[in-house]
Structure 1
Amino acid sequence: MRLHYAEDVYEHLQTFLSEFIIQRNSILSNTPNVLTRATLQNCFKNYVENFKGGGESFGSKVKAQFKDADLETKLVFAHAEWLWGFAVRDISVWRKQEQTKRTTGLSNEELKDVYPEGFGNAGMYHKNNKYYEIKFVLYLIELLFQKAQENEDISVKDLATYTEAYCLWHKYKQELEEYEIPESTKENIPDWSLATSNILLYVSNPDEYERIASDTHKRDIVNGFKSLLPDDEETKEKTTDEKIYLIRQELGKYVTNTDFDFYEDRFTRIWNYSLTQEGFSEVQGLQYKKAIILYGPPGTSKTHTAKRLSTAIIIDQYLSNRNNVKTYFEQDVDVTKNRIHRLQLHTNYTYEDFVVGYQLVSNETKAVKGKLFEICEAAMADGLPHVLILDEINRVDLSRLFGEVFSALEDREQEIDLSIGGLSLSIPKNLYVIGTMNEIDFSLEQIDFALRRRFLWFPYGFNEDVLKSIIWNKNTSLNTKLKGEEVNRYIQNCKALNDQLRKMPELGSQYEIGHTFFAEIVNIYSSFKTINGYSKLKYQIFRNGGAIDIIWSISIAPIIDAFLGNLDKESKQASLKALGKTFKK
């Protein structure tokens, strides 16, 4: 879907195709005639053939690989790196410019204004897989250059369609009529997933595709709205992107604004329920096992995810009936009401509270059904799923809490006789259980096998992508206007701090600090600015006595101090000083 706020992205791609591919001039600087067969071959020689491995940063490797190259060759590679990152928002404008300057040696004054903010996050896979992503872009540039050489009258639209065709071949081995990809190019296109392929597919034809970099997200959208697709062989043969296009057409019948985005909250609560990007997702685990546990340090979005998962599993079943789609969107029905049951567990919560126990009722001792009975009976009387969220299971002994009903988690709809009141209970198939566990308080290794095998376990840790998303959402709602370069620097410092905590012999991975604690930087900056009456600050986060010092003093340092409780005072202070230096650098 074409986005009104991304027009500069589409225009920059047109400029790239027109000025760089057809006219062969740099769009990053005023340097003419940079794209030639020789400069392209030099890029492949320096970047692909002389690939530099090792633990150095990507930037350091590129600098070394192109150290002896001429400016024209450096600029061609800089265009490949520009095309890799120009359209995404999670690489700041400053960072995009710095990448060009690092490779070419050009100054700020020599750079042209061709670095848009972008329209969405590409995720960590896009960055961590950068070598292969840019290699993919270099082969695209070679293809487009070849087509421009073969046809002097080639149009920008033709080159955009060749870009689309190139990405479709990579994703689906599908060809566009009249835009055939040469066999020599096909041989060099990798078989594995690339975020850049999805990004370029979108910007080359935004009227046909979605601004989604993740293949996992695309599959989740298709799964979440599968009831809108015709159940025939022709539809089954369609690609994921073609199915999403059909879903968009169908949803357009039920929503007021047809120029919607799948990342709007009314849609993400249906499909984007998980923080994981790859592999076996929590919702699949929930559907398969009906009981899962999310575990990890505090502040890693476990409870938030449990709620999202609960919503997703209920809405997914409701929307599996195509007739409900119209009702859901036109009447804004809350189908989760009274179907999500959340219990905050604590040390005094017992079997008698949860399953059944004797209580004095009207001067008579009677067996009184607990919360689990109530939930099971509600689920049995309903056609939709019910979800029981057990928050902080580390605070109780789950085997004792469930008692003899524990085995019923696996043997659904099998009646279990209870030891109190001559009652029996069965757990229905449509009741799903999600537990959350803080690993600091209770490690996974301490849990007995009987408990472990009755649940699927999903680890949750610090997630820099989630932190970035929370910060930017807060930035929008609080109108703090944080600068991208400072936010990126802050997030990298949070990551470095956690890396250091994990390596400390006294701690380990379970003592990571969760991203939700770090996200408070936005609220702190907003308050700091208001209290001190500042209208504008040169340094928003990294200012002496400002937001970075405040969040360290009132939140992060006290958490670490508690982690290091057994250390002597001198050792603790030395550790805190070193960690503080990493966090505030």
Structure 2
Amino acid sequence: RDGSEPTWAEFLQDPSRFNNDVSYFLAPEDLVELEEDALVERVLDSFRRLFPLVLLATLDEPIAEIEAYVAQEFPELDEEEEEEELQPLLPLPDIAAETGFSQAELARWVAAIQRKRQAIFYGPPGTGKTFIARMLAQHLIGGGDGFWELVQFHPAYAYEDFIQGIRPRPTASGGLEYPVVRGRFLEFCQKAAQCKGPCVLIIDEINRANLARVFGELMYLLEYRDENIRLAASDQGFRIPSNVYLIGTMNTADRSIALVDHALRRRFAFIKLEPQYMVLDAFHRKNGAGFDPAPLIEVLREINRQIGDPHYAVGISFFLRDVLAGDLEDIWRMEIEPYLDEYFFDQRDLVKKFTWEQVASRLLPGGQSHG
């Protein structure tokens, strides 16, 4: 202040004596990226923030009114307001203790996700793909203001569901209008753009959908993250926020990784999960209430040798339960036997070899049944 500017007290005595000009500048490149609803919200928010100046210029005693308005509209500015709530931390040692994977392996997976910003965990059923994806998502957002969400793909999932599409909507006059409606990913990105920290979208069973059709222009943006493109349905600009990460899970028993579009494969880091017998062993030696996992591991190894294809191996997550002995018969009869019955549909002797009646004596002390 060089003395030529009015003091705050002088300004309050008569604001009309001063030429006040308040403006809000939005860069052209940012303007073209905004969808109509977002632009309207931005304009409304600007007026909302500038309204105290209207009170200042029009009221004889504006201070009390301004304080009341600010307290109502901007409670975060209250000195006594609690600090912004951040996501809880989930350190890698805690994940290692929970899953049995080594910290070094978990750190490599996190580094791959951070480097590529999109990764897929793939493997046969029961290898813990979704479980580890959820835990790593929480690790990535820990300590920040971000969030993670999960969406599950299926054969009918389409571009209109994930990106955007025209959806009929009834009008007040009884007719129909056809607005362009944002899909799950665009909604996620709009929400993530309001955060500073990482935001993670988990796409469960990603390979069950027609990925090239569902992703559309996203295929380009996954590789060129800093670029902005126009979306087909609305001709609006879109760019993936830099804090958005994608983690997919892929069940190789449903569809081999070799069948996934090559262009998509090179845009993701692929992390292979196989049945980790040592994880099963460590889990039950720590939490298993005296259950000896060694016979179960021996039977699982034998089954997977008979299957002979790592894409269809029986995983260990079926058996990661604190008190397994009481549930083991039901798990075997209702989950393992139906899977083997389908896989060995033309080898009935093998199916019979691994029924509960045949393996119970090997899995439980004395071969007792808990059913």
TM-score by length of 2: 0.64
Aligned-partner SS, 1:553? helix
Aligned-partner SS, 1:441? coil
Q: Given residue 426 of structure 1, which amino acid in structure 2 is its aligned partner?
A: R
Q: Is the CA contact (8 Å cut-off) linking 1:405 and 1:425 kept in structure 2?
A: no
Match of 1:391 in 2: 204
Aligned-partner SS, 2:293? helix
TM-aligned CA deviation for residue 272 of structure 1: 6.7
In structure 2, how many angstroms separate the alpha carbons of the residues matched to 1:428 and 1:312?
19
Match of 1:288 in 2: 115
Match of 1:461 in 2: 274
TM-aligned CA deviation for residue 273 of structure 1: 8.7
Match of 2:310 in 1: 509
1:557 aligns with 2:337: yes
TM-aligned CA deviation for residue 266 of structure 1: 7.0
Aligned residues: 265
In structure 1, how many angstroms separate the alpha carbons of the residues matched to 2:221 and 2:273?
27
2:131 to 296, 301, 304: 304
1:102-161 deviation per Cα after TM superposition (whole angstroms, max 9, x unaligned): xxxxxxxxxxxxxxxxxxxxxxxxxxxxxxxxxxxxxxxxxxxxxxxxxxxxxxxxxxxx
2:320 to 519, 536, 540: 519
CA, structure 1 residues 311+520, in 2 after alignment: closer, same or farther (shift >3 Å)? closer
TM-aligned CA deviation for residue 501 of structure 1: 2.2
Alignment of structure 1 residues 533-544 onto 2, 5 Å: none
Aligned-partner SS, 1:526? coil
Match of 2:351 in 1: 576
In structure 2, how many angstroms separate the alpha carbons of the residues matched to 1:273 and 1:282?
16
TM-aligned CA deviation for residue 499 of structure 1: 2.8
Q: Given residue 156 of structure 2, which amino acid in structure 1 is its aligned partner?
A: N
2:157 to 349, 354, 363: 349
TM-aligned CA deviation for residue 520 of structure 1: 5.4
Aligned-partner SS, 1:435? strand
In structure 1, how many angstroms separate the alpha carbons of the residues matched to 2:263 and 2:98?
28
More helix by share: 1
Alignment of structure 1 residues 52-451 onto 2, 5 Å: 268-269=93-94, 276-277=101-102, 281-315=108-142, 318=143, 335=144, 339-361=147-169, 362=171, 363-451=176-264
Q: Given residue 489 of structure 1, which amino acid in structure 2 is its aligned partner?
A: P
TM-aligned CA deviation for residue 392 of structure 1: 0.2
Quote the sequence identity (%). Answer: 31
In structure 2, how many angstroms separate the alpha carbons of the residues matched to 1:274 and 1:281?
15
378-387 or 430-439, which deviates more: 378-387
Aligned-partner SS, 1:420? coil
TM-aligned CA deviation for residue 427 of structure 1: 0.7
In structure 1, how many angstroms separate the alpha carbons of the residues matched to 2:337 and 2:99?
30
Q: Given residue 300 of structure 2, which amino acid in structure 1 is its aligned partner?
A: C
Q: Is the CA contact (8 Å cut-off) linking 1:521 and 1:551 kept in structure 2?
A: no
2:294 to 488, 493, 503: 488
| Structure 1: unaligned runs, 5 residues or longer | 1-263, 319-334, 476-480, 503-507, 528-546
CA, structure 1 residues 273+366, in 2 after alignment: closer, same or farther (shift >3 Å)? farther
Q: Is the CA contact (8 Å cut-off) linking 1:303 and 1:391 kept in structure 2?
A: yes
TM-aligned CA deviation for residue 267 of structure 1: 6.8
CA, structure 1 residues 271+491, in 2 after alignment: closer, same or farther (shift >3 Å)? closer
TM-aligned CA deviation for residue 387 of structure 1: 0.3
**Greater RCO, CA 8 A, separation 6+:** 2
1:398-457 deviation per Cα after TM superposition (whole angstroms, max 9, x unaligned): 221110122101211311111112222111221000000000111011112101100011
Q: Given residue 563 of structure 1, which amino acid in structure 2 is its aligned partner?
A: Y
In structure 1, how many angstroms separate the alpha carbons of the residues matched to 2:94 and 2:306?
35
Aligned-partner SS, 2:233? coil
TM-aligned CA deviation for residue 514 of structure 1: 1.1
In structure 1, how many angstroms separate the alpha carbons of the residues matched to 2:228 and 2:203?
22
In structure 1, how many angstroms separate the alpha carbons of the residues matched to 2:98 and 2:200?
14
CA, structure 1 residues 518+500, in 2 after alignment: closer, same or farther (shift >3 Å)? farther
CA, structure 1 residues 492+438, in 2 after alignment: closer, same or farther (shift >3 Å)? same
Q: Is the CA contact (8 Å cut-off) linking 2:90 and 2:138 kept in structure 1?
A: no
TM-aligned CA deviation for residue 487 of structure 1: 2.7
Q: Is the CA contact (8 Å cut-off) linking 1:273 and 1:308 kept in structure 2?
A: no
TM-aligned CA deviation for residue 269 of structure 1: 4.4
CA, structure 1 residues 424+401, in 2 after alignment: closer, same or farther (shift >3 Å)? same
In structure 2, how many angstroms separate the alpha carbons of the residues matched to 1:379 and 1:389?
14
TM-aligned CA deviation for residue 348 of structure 1: 2.0
Q: Is the CA contact (8 Å cut-off) linking 1:359 and 1:368 kept in structure 2?
A: yes
Q: Is the CA contact (8 Å cut-off) linking 1:497 and 1:583 kept in structure 2?
A: no
In structure 2, how many angstroms separate the alpha carbons of the residues matched to 1:467 and 1:552?
16
CA, structure 1 residues 381+494, in 2 after alignment: closer, same or farther (shift >3 Å)? same
1:454-490 deviation per Cα after TM superposition (whole angstroms, max 9, x unaligned): 0011111111122234435653xxxxx324xx33232
Q: Is the CA contact (8 Å cut-off) linking 1:314 and 1:384 kept in structure 2?
A: yes
Q: Is the CA contact (8 Å cut-off) linking 1:274 and 1:308 kept in structure 2?
A: no
In structure 1, how many angstroms separate the alpha carbons of the residues matched to 2:311 and 2:360?
19
Q: Is the CA contact (8 Å cut-off) linking 1:355 and 1:372 kept in structure 2?
A: yes
Aligned-partner SS, 1:433? strand
Match of 1:259 in 2: none
Q: Is the CA contact (8 Å cut-off) linking 1:440 and 1:510 kept in structure 2?
A: yes
In structure 2, how many angstroms separate the alpha carbons of the residues matched to 1:267 and 1:510?
28
TM-aligned CA deviation for residue 265 of structure 1: 7.4
CA, structure 1 residues 372+265, in 2 after alignment: closer, same or farther (shift >3 Å)? closer
User: Alignment RMSD, CA only?
Assistant: 2.8
Q: Is the CA contact (8 Å cut-off) linking 1:497 and 1:582 kept in structure 2?
A: no
